[in-house]
Amino acid sequence: MAEAIVGVIESGEEEVMLTQGWDQGAVGYGRYGMANGACAYFGRPLAGIDLAQAALLAGMPQAPSAYDPLLHPDAAAARRAQVLDAMVDTGRVSSADAATAEREPVATSDPDASCLSK
């Protein structure tokens, strides 16, 4: 599922996520959905996140508290790396793009940030 979410985010087809229920996964702080996660952790709308951020969000629903990038950045980075590795294995991204994404910081915003109301 993580690969599918990242693929949809990258393609700009967020409406597909909504109609198929992909935007309902927990992302921490009582928030659900990739759009809320993008706002909470990166302070930007879903369409404005990059590959590293999408991979981090895609890996969070399995254990949102354990993979919270603000509380557990090392665990979040490790989970993001798993998602990126799976994407490389399936040919969705190149090894070079995955390596670049893995070097990015895991979170850049405060969980109280809200871009949905802007």
Residue 72 in domain: yes
Residue 43 in domain: yes
Query: pLDDT tens digits, residue range 6-19?
Result: 565 555 554 444 44
Is residue 24's pLDDT more than 70?
Answer: no
Residue 89 in domain: yes
Residue 112 in domain: no
Pairing of strands 26-28, 31-32: antiparallel
Whether 8 and 1 have beta carbons less than 8 Å apart is answered as no
The SS3 of residue 80 is helix
Residue 115 in domain: no
Its domain, for residue 39, covers 2-102
Residue 114 in domain: no
Q: Please tell me the pTM assigned to this model.
A: 0.76
Whether 102 and 36 have beta carbons less than 8 Å apart is answered as no
The CATH number linked to 39 is: 1.10.3810.10
Q: What is the pLDDT of residue 59?
A: 85
Query: pLDDT tens digits, residue range 91-113?
Result: 888 999 999 999 998 876 765 55
Count of domains observed in the chain? 1
Of 61, 62, 74, nearest in space to 107 by CA: 74
Is residue 23's pLDDT more than 50?
Answer: yes
